[in-house]
Amino acid sequence: MMTVRLRRISGREDKRIGTRKRKGRYLENVRKHWMLYVMVLPGILYYIVFKYVPLTGSVIALQDFKILKGIGGSPWVGLDNFRYIFSYHDFYLVLRNTAVIAFYKLIFGFPAPIVLALLFNEIRLMAAKRLAQSLFYLPHFLSWVVVGGIVFELLSNQGIVNVIRGWFGYEPVLFMQTERYFRTIVVLSGIWKGVGWGTIIYLAAIAGVNPNLYEAAVVDGANRFKQTIHITLPTMLPTIVVLFLLDIGNFLELGFDQIFNLLTPMTYSVGDIIETYVYRAGVLQGQYSVTTAIGLFQSVIGFALLWAFNRLARKTEQGLW
């Protein structure tokens, strides 16, 4: 699956061919199939301009970047920006918020679609299963602006949650403006939006199980629960590992859209994450170099985590590479 693809596309050309011979081969190839090269050109340009130029533009983390002087004219300051952020109190606050929310999302959000997929699998009525799936997939297609708006409305003073609390005689709570609820809301709304869609890939893995295995297990006297533990889950494991690694690689990238649309100044102390902070300090206030340094730091942590967990995964299962 994913593993194979990543490995294959990153594979190298055959190195045994001599360079001169190779050059000739390339020229002839380009002459013969020039149309293919023409077709791929706009795509390559797109990736260079919108992916690689910004990536190399990250060098402004080592500069005191001024927008009017550009990268060429701005003075180099070495690691000063990194020294600055590590001595800066706000940085630790957003880093902690990011890490804590990321951790909660991982331990609660990651297993949710696995559990749901297993529960889907136990539904015997096909019509009911299909209907439930349709409903669960729906929130995936709503934007975070919409979902954020709905969450705010449902949890507002006159919102439905406080209405229900009122039935039982509880005082209304301003959930969105109270620090201690913020992270729970982030995790729950994330699960609400993504859990159904997340099951698709696991359901595909479950569908790939050889039915003979279940028959054999039934003969051996295994009940549904034991079949799930000993047959279904092990079959899903490679998929789980790959998705876990991909999640880990994006560990600190919580998604700007979600947090931005749930955050209020009242909840900055627990909910302001790297991306929302970078947006405010960088885009709005123009501290380009410092916020780029923070962004780079985030990328490096992400890659380090991916690398470490990939090594770990390779010891037991297959990794990404």
Residue 87 beta carbon to another protein: minimum distance, rounded to whole angstroms: 20
State which residue, 107 or 163, has the beta carbon closest to another protein: 163
Residue 263 beta carbon to another protein: minimum distance, rounded to whole angstroms: 12
As given in the structure block, the two tokens for residue 24 are 């000739």
State which residue, 182 or 289, has the beta carbon closest to another protein: 289
CB 214 within 8 A of CB 227: yes
State which residue, 13 or 78, has the beta carbon closest to another protein: 13
Residue 300 beta carbon to another protein: minimum distance, rounded to whole angstroms: 10
Residue 180 beta carbon to another protein: minimum distance, rounded to whole angstroms: 23
Residue 38 beta carbon to another protein: minimum distance, rounded to whole angstroms: 9
DSSP type of residue 231: I
As given in the structure block, the two tokens for residue 102 are 């990321």
How distant is the alpha carbon of residue 174 from its chain centre?
29
Q: What is the 3-state secondary structure (H, E, C) of 46-114?
A: HHHHHHHHHHHHHHHHHECCCCCCHHHHCCECCCHHHHHHHCCHHHHHHHHHHHHHHHHHHHHHCHHHH
State which residue, 26 or 103, has the beta carbon closest to another protein: 26
Whole-angstrom Cα distance, residue 15 to residue 10? Answer: 14
